Structure 1
Amino acid sequence: MTTTQRTDARLNRERLLATAREVFAEAGPGASLNEIASRAGVGPGTLYRHFPNRTALLAAVLRDRIEALCAHAEDLLASESADEALAQWLRAFLAHARVSQGIGSALMVGSAGELGLDCHRRILGAAAGLLTRAQRQGTARTDLTADDLLQLVIGIALSTARPEDAGQPDRLLALVLDATQAVPRRSAPLPDVVRSSGAR
């Protein structure tokens, strides 16, 4: 394979991954693979050369999202405020958990279960780094663990999956963030809950 072919193949893979992230977020893990290929500007054959089946594509999308979250955590470790860095990353993790829960469920079969364990270990490490830094600065309570935080945020994601729950995730996360502080303080009101017109 020539250098040009290798470059084209890499760009096609990147386009397919970026498009798959969008389409799976819109339509869930059962989204049409032909639609993904079409929106990425390639043929189905190109998609299947890079990702031989749906599971391979879902796993690649999940890995890509985890890479982005871990890189974000690394960047935040250099920020001045450990407290705000932790809060910012937990907001990003909540968004990830809400979008990715269908992918995670679809992958928790067979050998893909190991991927889920590896992703959890990496996310746990990212959360631990940010939490430990906040604890050392005296802004986060010392009896809190990274696993506590992840379980709380995942719980928010799982319990607010309905369209009518639009504002509830931010409201619940605000409560969690307040509870993580060494000296809890609430300087602003909780975010409003936004209900859809069809909610009762």
Structure 2
Amino acid sequence: MSTGQRADARRNYAHILSIAEHEVAARGAGASLEQIARTAGVGSATVRRHFPTRRALLEAVSRKRIDALCVRAEELTGRGDSRDALLEWLNGVVAYCVSARWLAVALAYDSTGSDSVHENTCATSLEDAGQPLLRAAVADGAVAAGIGVGDFITLAVGIVLATEHHPAPDAEASRLFQLAVVGLSPPR
């Protein structure tokens, strides 16, 4: 949302986003854009003008969580054991995705459509935030070279989506992520 927009357009955007946050929280990534429009008291064309794709809507709804993860990465960079710092941050990514299933969908890569990884601002923000943590861990020999932050995000998203219907999705996602970490780590 541009700061150069009219005040009523900014208010309209904020109102639609607020409704969208509630709908997505209640119904997940498949929340109806038409229902969001009805609840917001606007036409579906207005919702689509602000959020031209479902991914755009999910990214807007996810922005606060993504920003919090980026801040956390910055806080952890340069503190203590580099591997522990990276894993603490990545565990936070997994936990956020588990608590908000739609966040995993917003982070999912779709290289076949117009919303490619290069246009996925959520994933790009997380990759940029995690780079210093990963660089430090690789430099310390705590993480194997050749692994990218995008690899970890893809892994986290896959685990979260795979455990979605598990009786204890948070515990199972955490367990599987820890199992994967062992496989991604160089021998000690």
Query: Taking structure 1 as the reference length, what is the TM-score of the superposition?
Result: 0.61
Q: Alpha-carbon deviation of 1:169?
A: 0.6
- Say whether the 8 Å CA contact 2:58–2:103 is kept in structure 1: no
- Say whether the 8 Å CA contact 2:163–2:172 is kept in structure 1: yes
| Partner Cα distance (1:38, 1:150) in 2 | 34
Range that drifts further, 10-19 or 93-102: 93-102
Cα deviation code 1:65-95 (max 9, x no counterpart): 3675266325522432444442343234323
Other-structure match for 1:196: none
Other-structure match for 1:190: none
Other-structure match for 1:72: 69
| Partner Cα distance (2:69, 2:106) in 1 | 21
1:142 has 2:144 as partner: yes
Other-structure match for 1:169: 173
Other-structure match for 1:43: 41
Q: Alpha-carbon deviation of 1:151?
A: 3.4
- Name the % identity: 24
- Say whether the 8 Å CA contact 1:140–1:180 is kept in structure 2: no
Cα deviation code 1:133-189 (max 9, x no counterpart): 2333x37323351244233223312321214242201222233445556677xxxxx
| Partner Cα distance (2:84, 2:61) in 1 | 25
Query: Taking structure 2 as the reference length, what is the TM-score of the superposition?
Result: 0.64
Gaps of 5+ in 1: 185-200
**Larger RCO (alpha carbons 8 Å, 6+ apart):** 2
Matched residues, number: 174
| Partner Cα distance (2:28, 2:6) in 1 | 31
